[in-house]
Amino acid sequence: MLRLLLSLLLLAPAAQADTVIAARTIRAQTVIGVNDLVLRDVEVPGALSSLDGLVGMETRQALYAGRPIRPGDLGPPALIDRNQVVRLIYDRNGLMIVAEARALGRGGAGEVLRVMNMDSRQVVNGVIQSDGTVKVQ
């Protein structure tokens, strides 16, 4: 009886998991809509498995139809573009310094961005705030 159960378990098909797939080819820097992604009953290690929270995200690279979507393929919509002039803020222990800086990359709220202080030409990393400013720690 035990042998029969073991052989049935070994012959049973592997459980499938849902994987998020691109429904069509989507260009980089495109905001995801409801019809851009679909769930397929196939398991792909490292791929996203839920559509929750993906609508409104932005593609970081081109996504090709029928290919799985990985976490690094999507991110928050960009608030800052490369070469854009932004406000750079340092705020610590009651001291606040505000300067203009040039963005050396592109990013959305919560992402780390390299910027160059326009006055000193010093390059620093800061976190993009929801209002489009960059805060230096």
Q: Give rounded-to-5 percent helix, strand, coil for the chain.
A: 10, 40, 50
Question: pLDDT tens digits for 48-92?
Answer: 999 999 999 999 999 999 999 999 999 999 999 999 999 999 999
Question: pLDDT tens digits for 105-132?
Answer: 999 999 999 999 999 999 999 999 999 9
Q: Answer whether 15-75 and 78-136 agree in fold.
A: no
Best CA proximity match to 23, nearest among 63, 71, 77: 63
Ramachandran bin of 29, using left for φ above 0, alpha for ψ from -120 to 50, beta for the remaining angles: left
- The helix (run of H) or strand (run of E) holding residue 7 is helix 2-11
pTM over 0.75: no
Amino acid at 2: L
The domain 15-75 having CATH identifier 3.40.50.800: the answer here is no
Residue 107 CB contacts under 8 Å (≥ 6 apart), including other chains: 75, 78, 79, 80, 113, 128
Write down the domain spans for the chain: 15-75, 78-136
What class does CATH assign to 78-136? mainly beta
